[in-house]
Each structure stands twice: as structure tokens, then as C-alpha cells.
Structure 1
Amino acid sequence: MVDGSCAEGFAPLRDLLASNLADGIDAGAAVAVVHDGELVVDLWGGEARPGVPWRADTVVMTWSVTKVMAALTVLVLADRGIVDLDQRVAHYWPEFGAHGKDGVLVRHLLSHTSGVPGWSRPVTVEDLLAGARAADWLADEEPWCAPGGRSAYQIVDHGHLLDGLVRRAAGRPLADVFREDVAGPFGADFMIGVPEEEQHRCADLIAPPPSGVDYSQLPPDSFLLRTMANPLLVPAVCNTAAWRRGAVGSVGGHGNARGVAQVQAVVSHGGEYAGRRLLQETTIERILDVQADGPDQVLLQAVTFGIGFGLPTPSAPAVPGGRTCWWSGYGGAVVVNALDSRTTVAYTPNRMASHLLASPRTDAYLRTAFSCVDRL
């Protein structure tokens, strides 16, 4: 039931994936580990769709794991001097300075402290897929909260904010810079926008069970309600060809655990992986600069944000401490970069769990992977 390769010492991770597939906890999934420069775990199994096996090249939507791919793209531009993390966004994107946003810095966009976690106007899925139009609306948005203060998770608009910046600073869309300058050099299988000829490789998402959260108890002006449902993204929408083609850099990325780990390993390995240097170590260190620490105004959970990534926090207990950066996607996908042990762990399922930052299934994969690393 499980295919792929697994180095000696990581058998417990293979056994966990096999057990979860057999029990139906996972329908189809992949898990990968890059450790000290080597892809030591590259496993997959189950079904991509009913009757269609999950193969080596199957990809699945990873929800907010996409955000750290988009953030890495901006960090690459910063490393090259094309953007400055401490510069005003309006320096590159003048329209964004409207309505008191002139003081929003590039690092505020990356750390979810921009004060613009969503759109005030009604937004449709078609608007998201239009790309530049939805970003232009954000430029004209009034801040929902003070920039540079408490985080307000940019749950859906994060990719549009970064795309608006990248288009103006680099002259290319975010998805193109990611494909050509970030994933491309490593041959990594992760896409922000799936071409028509690659769509047959996509696994279908399976909706999670009800979360048990009574959203009717939240006030109407709750940031969570104003962002999560504007627009509401459900698997029935995200399994369509139109959505998969779209380059939504907050939640719309598609990849497998191997591809996620191979892109992100550049972070856990000091900026260089597979013989290619993508970032200087000074840029990596900026990721670990705490930008916000405390209850997030959208997620309603305590979160610690560095620049572009989450940092260790009690609300994600399986993420190891130390010099670690990570992020997770709705439903359970995750990537963790542990710089101290030169390790990246990635997990990409198609059966979604009730999961925002942590859940028992994802936590088990992380704990098992890092316990294997600790025993090496």
C-alpha cells in the first residue's frame, strides 16, 4: 500500500503512513524528509481519486503551505536586492499606500501584520482567479487594524498581497518568479497554478468533518468570519480545473511531499541545497526574527510569526523548538524546517482533517519523523 523509498532509521514513518492508509485516516498521502542534504524519506500511497492510485508524481492542493512558498519567493528577491524587507510596500506599489497604509513594510506583509487580512467588499472565487484585480482592491483597502502590531492572518489574500508587490518590484507575477527562480532550479514538483497538461496528476480533496466550532457565536465583525467566508473555499470548488489553473498564492499551490521538502530544504540547510545556493545565511536569519507573538486576530489562537513563516508556538505542539520555521495548511498538510538538525519534513494528504494549526494526525507524522532524526 506504501510506495517509495525510506532510509534505514525512518521505518516508523513508513509504518505510520501504512497504518493510516489501512485505517482510512488517510485516503491518499505522501510524506518526505530531507536530512543533512539527502532525501531520506520519499513515501506515498493510497488513492488520489476513487479507483485511481496515488503515484510518485501525484500532486495535491496544500492550502496554506502555499504561503511559505510565496514567502520564499519574496525572500529570494530580497536576497538579490530587488526588494528590501524593511522598505515600505508603497515604495514598490504606490497605490498600496492609500488610506493610511503608507507605513506598511514588506516584512509586515510577510508576517501577517499588514493590517489587511481580507477584503471589505464581497469577493468571488472568480475574482480570486482574476489575480491583479483582487490585488488592486487590496491596495484600496482601509486597514482593519494597526499595521506592524498584532498579527491578523491573511488567510486568503496573502498571495494577492505578495503578488501585487512582486509584480511591481520584479516585473513578473509571483507564480512565474516562483516557478522560474525557486522551484525550477531544484526540479521540485510544486506549482502555483497547474497547467492544463498536468491536471491529470491532481488528487481530489476530501472535505473534513465538521469542526465543531459554532460560528454563530462570533460577532458579525469577527475577522475570522470576514475572511474565511469571503469567498468560501470548499473542496467542490478547489477540485475544479479552473481553480487548479489559478495562481492563488495563499492557498492554491499543488505539490507532493517530495516537492515541498525539496523547495523548503534550502531554508533548513542554510540557503543551499542540492548544490545550488538560493539564499544567503543572513536572509535565513531574518526568517527567525519574531514579528508577532500572541493571539492572532483571525485564527483566534496564539501564533508566533517570523518573516514569512511561523515559528515554534504552543498551539502547534509537535513542531520542534529551537531554530525552526514552519507552516501548515487547512486540513493537515505541513512543512517544518528545523535548522539545527538540517531537516525538512513535509506531509501532503488529500483527506482533510479538522485542522488549522495542529491536529492528531499531522502531529503524529511530525513527532515520528523528528524522533527518527533524533535517534540517528
Structure 2
Amino acid sequence: MPESEDHRVAELVPFDIVRSENSEQQQVELTDAQKSQRNSAGTLDIQNTKAWRQAEIPSANGQGNAGGLAKLYSLIVPEDNSLKLLKDDTVNQMTTMQIEGRDLVLAVQVRWGVGFILNKHKIIYGPVEGAFGHSGYGGSCAFGDPENKIGVSYVMNRMLDNFNADGRSIELINATYDCL
């Protein structure tokens, strides 16, 4: 991220766990892959530095906001094809399962397309099996829904200490679909 944009970044802060009906906060043993990521990204003190934000660390320190991510996904699955960002063949590769199994970093069963997690059992990214996206550390997620032609994103600066969805994102996704 360019230094000129650093003033726009919200500081990451720990989240005091507040249970919601959809949250399943539990202690789990970290995998070796998760431990290796925490060596570089384990503390908010490191993640809040300019050096961290300016580094280019794939899958570890993306900087963006919910509106930008939702817009990106909406341009991958637009209602108006003249706005389509990617070719159909590219989207097909992204949304065709390449591998399925226990992800060594996320420590859960995942179906992967090329670069994107595919919705499984209609629970990760809403009620549409064809939805695809990516989830991030702390509970963030962004995805595209080709059936409803929408992009959805949830990002936050109050970080949960996990790699999986939490009650906050699940409740917001459910509310989004209730409005459709």
C-alpha cells in the first residue's frame, strides 16, 4: 500500500468475544501452517505498522475496505454483462473445483477453485451453492454470488483470533439475503 494512503487505514484492535447465536468460539490447536503465519502476523502490534502495511505478503496483509471488495466481486458476476471485469472462461476456472479437503492453514474442509474458496453446503457465503470468494484472518470475508449477481463483503478492524467465519459475518450475510 502506498504511504500516501496510510492515513485511510483503521488500526486493528482485539475483539472482546461477545457470543451471538451463530458464533462458535472454541479453543482449537493451531496447525503448523497456522503457526507459521502467526510468526509473521501474530500480533496486532506488527500488523499496525507502516512497514507491515507496505509489505507485499500474498494471502497475509491485503488492505482494502468492504465497499471496494464487494464492488470487485460484483464486477466478476455483474447483472449487466457490459460491466463484466473478467472473461467467462476465467470465471469458470475460478469457480470450478480444483481440490477439496482439509486446508492446512484454515484447518477446515474447503473446496478450492483457482484462487477462490467455493461455497460448501451453502453456509460459508450464503445460501447459494455457486457463490465463491475468500475469507480472512479475524472473520473477514468477501464473495460473489453469480445467481443473484451480487458482491458481498465484511471487513473489520476489531479482530477475532481465528481464520474462520464468525457470528458477525454470518449474521450480516444472512441479513443481506433476507433483503433480496
Query: Normalising by the residue count of structure 1, what TM-score does the alignment of the two structures yield?
Result: 0.42
Quick check: which one's helix share is greater? 1
Q: Residue 129 of structure 2 is aligned with which of 315, 319, 322? A: 322
Q: How many Å apart are 1:233 and its aligned residue? A: 3.0
1:197 pairs with 2:11: no
Cα distance change on mapping 1:202 and 1:297 into 2, 3 Å: closer
- 2:169 aligned to which of 362, 368, 375: 362
Secondary structure at the aligned position of 1:255 is classed as coil
Which deviations, in whole Å up to 9, do the C-alpha atoms of 1:269-318 show, x marking residues without a partner?
A: 2895xx54431112111111111122223322111111111011249445
Output aligned runs, 1:14-53, within 5 Å.
none
Q: CA deviation at 1:229?
A: 3.3
For residues 1-41 of structure 1, give each alpha carbon's deviation from its aligned partner in whole angstroms, at most 9, with x where no partner exists. Answer: xxxxxxxxxxxxxxxxxxxxxxxxxxxxxxxxxxxxxxxxx
What is the CA–CA distance in structure 1 between the aligned matches of 2:35 and 2:154, rounded to whole Å? 29
- The structural deviation recorded for 1:209 is 5.1
Going from structure 1 to structure 2, the CA distance change for 1:314 and 1:235 (only over 3 Å counts) comes to farther
Contact kept, 8 Å, 1:293 with 1:303, in 2: the verdict is yes
In 2: Cα distance, 1:279 partner to 1:370 partner:
25
Q: Who is 1:258 aligned against? A: 67
Residue 250 of structure 1 aligns to which amino acid in structure 2?
A: S
Matched, 1:346 2:153: yes
**Per-residue deviation, 1:223:** 3.1
Measured in 2, the distance between the counterparts of 1:298 and 1:368 equals 29
Matched, 1:295 2:99: no
SS at 2:159 equivalent: coil
Contact map agreement 1:320 1:338 (CA 8 A) in 2 = no
Counterpart CA distance in 2 for 1:363 and 1:236 is 27
Which has the higher Rg, Structure 1 or Structure 2? 1
Does the 8 Å CA contact 2:72/2:151 hold for their aligned counterparts? no
Partner letter of residue 56 of structure 2? A
Letter in 2 for 1:213: Q
Distance of 1:271 and 1:278 partners within structure 2: 11
The alpha-carbon distance between structure 1 residues 307 and 365, as it changes in their structure 2 partners (threshold 3 A), is: same
Unaligned 5+ runs, structure 2:
18-24
Q: Which ranges of structure 1 fall in alignment gaps of 5 or more residues?
A: 1-192
The 8 Å contact of residues 12 and 44 in structure 2, kept in 1 or not, is answered as yes
Give identity over the alignment, percent.
Answer: 28
3-state SS, counterpart of residue 304 of structure 1: strand
Query: 1:251–1:232: structure 2 CA closer, same or farther, 3 Å change rule?
Result: closer
User: Quick one: structure 1 residues 348 and 308, their matched pair in 2 at CA, closer, same or farther if it must change by over 3 Å?
Assistant: same
1:241 matched residue in structure 2: 50
Q: What is the rounded CA distance, in whole Å, between the counterparts of 2:158 and 2:43 in structure 1?
A: 13
**1:349 partner SS:** coil
Residue-by-residue CA offset, 1:157-191 (whole Å, 9 max, x unaligned):
xxxxxxxxxxxxxxxxxxxxxxxxxxxxxxxxxxx
Residues 316/223 of structure 1: CA separation in 2 closer, same or farther (3 Å cut): farther
The residue identity in structure 1 corresponding to 2:13 is I
Return the letter of the residue paired with 1:334: C
Q: What RMSD over aligned residues (CA atoms) do the two structures have, in Å?
A: 2.6
Preserved CA contact (<8 Å) 1:237 1:243 = yes
Shift of 1:226: 4.8
Question: Matches of 2:86 and 2:77 in 1, distance apart?
Answer: 11
Counterpart pick for 1:331 among 120, 133, 138: 138
Distance 2:52 2:125 in 1: 32
Structure 2 length-normalised TM: 0.82
